[in-house]
Amino acid sequence: MSAALAAFLRDQGIRDERVLAAVAQVPRAWFVPEDLRDRADDDRPLPIGHGQTISQPFVVAYMTERLRLTGPERVLEVGTGSGYQTALLALLAGEVYSIEIIPELAERAREVLLGRLGLANVRLRTGDGARGWPEEAPFDRVIVTAAAEQVPPALLDQLAPGGRMLLPVGPSSEAQVLRQLDRGRDGATIETGLLGVRFVPLTHA
């Protein structure tokens, strides 16, 4: 089924062959509740408990493609959630550091990512993702999978020169805008709005 999902995403405009190959390789059904596994490859978000969702496959693939991963990057992910996005990143980057604030989701993701998939380049932490992972900074890429009302300053501080951050920005009660922040070698940041999205709010400890 994952190969069919990759083919669908190609038809929807995803062009990065490495991203499509990762989608084909990772079974999305492993990351959704058992009673929803027959809908795992639907192009829609699905509930995973605790008021959270696994994002729509197109949005996951689009955000992953926009990261422009080539292989060696160190990536910070804020909002492990189901772990599906984390798994894709692990196949595309050198190291992935992922933070989840809800302990039950963090443990479930750990079981799939480290146990079932055996991903050796993933490090997981339970805590407030808006604070980032300062002792491992800087990161070449930062991806946030929950909506912040503004860009968390700690995350921007942990983005390396030449790095890129993707995150949805806007009130949780309204549609948000997926934003791309590119930090130049001189430290200046250019921000670009990409598309309208709807994410659960970024939760703080």
Q: Which residues are catalytic?
A: 55
Give 11's contacts (C-beta < 8 A, 6+ positions apart). Answer: none
CA distance 196 to 130: 21
Q: How far is CA 173 from CA 148, 170, 180, in A?
A: 11, 9, 21
* Cβ atoms within 10 Å, residue 190: 10
